[in-house]
Amino acid sequence: MLHFCLDSPVDMLWFGEFISPQKDWKHLTRRLFEYEMMIVTEGELFIADDDREYHVRDGEYLIMSPTRVQKGTRVCKCRFYWMHFRCDALPASVSLPPHAAFSDRESISAIAHMLLRSEAEHPRSMRSRYLATQLLLELAAGNPEGETGLPPQQTLVNSIKNFITFHRFSEIRVKDIARELGYHEKYLSAVFHETEGVTLKRYLVNTRLSEAKRLLLETDHTVTEVAYYLNFPSPHNFSRFFKQETGMTATEFRQKS
């Protein structure tokens, strides 16, 4: 899950609508220094970051976090709104999955068209920032759980992700989730792996690592403070975890990013 503090409008950098050329278009390869949101309204988009590949279909959105490599993975034909923005993660007031479907096309389209007009008249104005924030809120409000007709396994996976989100600053284990949701550990892990294509243990590690990166990039907390925010036993334990997962120290990551 991605977490945003929307108590004040986001720092909207650029917004536009992209229509791919008729032939042989693939998203460029670059470094992404801020969040990018892509709302696909026609066709399908194939794109990847450091961690995984995404297949974003018509009626779905994707929010990519800052990453060393953003790249297209396949030639595709599509149309989408795109927005680059910055936003604090803490204190989180809204949480969104990075990749999901949106339901209210009319509202999304209306906000996007107002934002396009605002940017044409007064780029990066306060009005644009509020419209960009409204766009994020509209995505967060769409498709509430329990009303989407999702299959039981996906509903269970969503419950797992929600539990992990609410306990993202703690060291939780698969057995903690299984006990809370009332399932056997092996069944829970099997359903999650089958649905998400990644083991539950790895998802837990990735979530904690993502929070660590976000705190390092979006706050002025020291490495020691980040370690304690994430409830590591000690700063040394956090530093060893971070280097093992990224190949660099937390300080090196902050400086390079």
| Same-domain pairing of 83 and 116 | yes
Q: Is the pLDDT of residue 233 over 60?
A: yes
**pLDDT > 70: what percent of the chain?**
96
Q: How far apart are CA 110 and CA 135, in angstroms?
A: 10
Q: pLDDT digit string (tens) for 148-179?
A: 445 678 778 887 887 887 777 778 889 988 88
Average pLDDT in the 122-144 region? Answer: 84
| Same-domain pairing of 107 and 192 | no
In angstroms, the first-to-last Cα distance of the chain is 21
| Same-domain pairing of 9 and 101 | yes
Q: pLDDT digit string (tens) for 68-105?
A: 899 999 999 999 999 999 998 777 778 888 999 887 78
Say which CATH number the domain at 195 has: 1.10.10.60
| Same-domain pairing of 108 and 37 | yes
Average pLDDT in the 206-222 region? Answer: 90
Q: pLDDT digit string (tens) for 3-16?
A: 888 888 999 999 99
Q: pLDDT digit string (tens) for 101-113?
A: 887 788 889 899 9
pLDDT of residue 142: 64
- Look at residues 141, 164, 187 and tell me which one is the last residue of a structural domain: 141
Any domain includes 146: no
Any domain includes 117: yes
- Look at residues 141, 160, 182 and tell me which one is the last residue of a structural domain: 141
Q: How far apart are CA 166 and CA 176, in angstroms?
A: 13
| Residue tagged 């998400």 (tokens) | 196
| Same-domain pairing of 131 and 11 | yes
| Same-domain pairing of 15 and 63 | yes
| Residue tagged 């104005």 (tokens) | 125
Q: How far apart are CA 212 and CA 149, in angstroms?
A: 34
Q: How many folded domains does the chain comprise?
A: 2
The pLDDT-based confidence of 146 (bands split at 50, 70, 90) is very low
| Residue tagged 């057995």 (tokens) | 175
Looking at the whole model, is its pTM more than 0.85?
no
- Look at residues 141, 175, 210 and tell me which one is the last residue of a structural domain: 141
Write the DSSP assignment of 77-92 as a string of letters: -EEEEEEEEE---SS-
Q: How far apart are CA 9 and CA 15, in angstroms?
A: 15
Any domain includes 147: no
DSSP state of 247: S
- Which domain covers residue 242, as residue numbers? 152-256
Q: How far apart are CA 103 and CA 99, in angstroms?
A: 13
